[in-house]
Amino acid sequence: MPRCHLEKEEDREEEELKYLYRIANELPAFLEERGFTAEPANGVKQSTSPLLKEEVKPYYRDYICKVSEYVFCGK
């Protein structure tokens, strides 16, 4: 995300994660509208991010968000 779109540089990573999860929330429906079938990830690396909708969590292996005091995964 370009710096000019943010008030403070330290907000950049947080804003990028928000956009990434927004895309992930829309992607299964977008694909299904175009004739593709989303397949569940079978619980592998299940997301704990509050930014990902519950109904789409089964379709993703979330390598970004993990429960840790050192890693941000959304608020």
User: Could you read off the pLDDT of 34-66 as tens digits, one per residue?
Assistant: 999 888 888 788 888 899 999 999 999 888 886
- Residue 63 is classified by DSSP as S
Structure tokens at 26: 């829309």
Is the CB of residue 66 less than 8 Å from the CB of residue 48?
yes
**Pick from 67, 2, 55: nearest CA to 29:** 55
If one compares 70 and 60, the residue with the highest pLDDT of the two is 60
If one compares 69 and 26, the residue with the highest pLDDT of the two is 26
Distance CA 18, CA 73 (A): 9
